[in-house]
Amino acid sequence: MMDERVRERVLNAADRLYYGRGIQSVGMDELRRASGVSLKGLYGVFPSKAAIVLEVLDRRHALWNTGVTERVARAETPRAKLLAIYDYLSDWFSDDTFRGCGFINAFAELGSISPEVAERAREHKAGFQSFVAGLVADAGADPDLAPQLSILAEGAQTTAAIAGTGEAAVHASHAAEILIDAAMLSGATSASECPSAKA
């Protein structure tokens, strides 16, 4: 139980520091001070800084999945569920602690020197794309819509981080509406043109 409490204190401090200032700029001594855990205690639950980084990313992955899934679940129609992704982004961008996507940030810092970090980032992005693809399939829209909506969401995160405002979510949502409506109209038209099994 004690090890679990220490683990949580270290991970909470690491997540806050890494996300706010960058991973490489935060040394283990600073993490020790911020978490209130001695270096001996810290290394007692984590073998290395790399292990802490990977666990922080795993926690961010779970947080993202829970947040976006819950927001989408509140929407009532397939179209609204797709647009709810951008509502979630809008809420996130308005948070004072928002500093962009933690996975994009980590990949930019460490992707070229840490295969594990690069793989975590790829898995996170692939998971989101798969989630969007499922929503697109439920909406009966053209499958090509899924990567288009995913790219909009990714671009909005980067733009919002650089601009320091949440306007990117609004613009991305408006663009998503156009893409969704066009894809759903195309799908409906294609279905109506298909000959029936009895023909």
> CB-based contacts of 154: which residues, under 8 Å, 6+ apart?
101, 104, 125
Taking the CA atoms of residue 42, residue 43, residue 47 and residue 48 in that order, the dihedral angle to the nearest 10 degrees is 70
pTM for this entry: 0.89
Structure tokens at 44: 């007692």
pLDDT per residue over 170-186, tens digit each? Answer: 999 999 999 999 998 77
Of 39, 36, 61, the C-alpha closest to 125 is: 61
What average pLDDT is seen over the chain?
92
Could you tell me the pLDDT band of residue 153, with boundaries at 50, 70 and 90?
A: very high
Structure tokens at 178: 């156009």
* CATH 1.10.357.10 domain position(s) in the chain: 58-190
The reported pLDDT for the residue numbered 176 is 97
Identify the CATH homologous superfamily for domain 58-190.
Answer: Tetracycline Repressor, domain 2 (1.10.357.10)
pLDDT per residue over 101-143, tens digit each? Answer: 999 999 999 999 999 999 999 999 999 999 999 999 999 999 9
pLDDT per residue over 15-27, tens digit each? Answer: 999 999 999 999 9
* CATH 1.10.10 domain position(s) in the chain: 1-47
Q: Is 145 exposed, middle or buried (0-12, 13-18, 19+ CB in 10 A)?
A: buried
**Domain 1-47 class?**
mainly alpha
State the average pLDDT over residues 87-95: 97
